[in-house]
Structure 1
Amino acid sequence: MAEEKDLGEAQRVHWQDTYAAHPGMYGEHPSAPAVHAARVFHASGARDVLELGAGHGRDALFLAREGFTVQATDFSATGLEQLRAAARAQGAAERVTTLVHDVRDPLPLSDASVDAVFAHMLLCMALSTSEIHTLVGEVRRVLRPGGVFVYTVRHTGDAHYGAGTAHSDDIWEHGGFAVHFFPRDLVNALAEGWVLEEVFAFEEGDLPRRLWRITQTLPR
Structure 2
Amino acid sequence: MNGAHRDLADAQRQHWQNTYQAHPGMYGQEPSAPAAHAAEAFRTAGARDVLELGAGHGRDALLFAREGFTVQATDFSPTGLEQLRDAARSAGVGHRVTTAVHDVRQPLPFPDASVDAAFAHMLLCMALSTQEIHALAGEVRRVLRPGGTFVYTVRHTGDAHYGIGTAAGDDIYEHGGFAVHFFHRALVDALAEGWNLQEVHAFEEGELPRRLWRVTQSLPLPY
Give the TM bin, normalised by the shorter chain.
over 0.9
In the alignment, what sits opposite 2:146? 145
Structure 2 residues not aligned, in runs of 5+: none
Structure 2 CA distance for aligned equivalents of residues 54 and 5 of structure 1: 22
In the alignment, what sits opposite 2:155? 154
Q: How does 1:1-220 map to 2 (within 5 A)?
A: 1-220=2-221
Give the CA RMSD over aligned residues. Answer: 0.4
User: Aligned letter for 1:140?
Assistant: R
Structure 2 CA distance for aligned equivalents of residues 26 and 34 of structure 1: 13
Structure 1 CA distance for aligned equivalents of residues 69 and 89 of structure 2: 16
TM-score if structure 2 supplies the norm length?
0.98
User: 1:2: Cα distance to partner?
Assistant: 1.3
Per-residue CA deviations over 1:60-103 (Å, capped at 9, x if unaligned) read 01100000000000000110010011011111110000000000
Structure 2 CA distance for aligned equivalents of residues 53 and 85 of structure 1: 17
Per-residue CA deviations over 1:14-53 (Å, capped at 9, x if unaligned) read 0001001100000000000000000000000000100000
Per-residue CA deviations over 1:149-189 (Å, capped at 9, x if unaligned) read 00000000000000011101000000000000000000000
TM-score if structure 1 supplies the norm length?
0.99
**Could you list the runs of 4 or more consecutive aligned residues of structure 1 that deviate by over 6 angstroms after TM superposition?**
none
User: 1:5: Cα distance to partner?
Assistant: 1.4
Structure 1 CA distance for aligned equivalents of residues 178 and 148 of structure 2: 31
User: 1:144: Cα distance to partner?
Assistant: 0.2
Contact 2:5 2:168 in 1 (8 A): no
Contact 2:154 2:182 in 1 (8 A): yes
Partner-residue secondary structure (3-state), 1:83: helix
Percent of aligned pairs sharing the same letter:
77
Structure 2 CA distance for aligned equivalents of residues 204 and 77 of structure 1: 26
Structure 2 CA distance for aligned equivalents of residues 108 and 99 of structure 1: 9
Partner-residue secondary structure (3-state), 2:164: coil
Partner-residue secondary structure (3-state), 1:206: coil
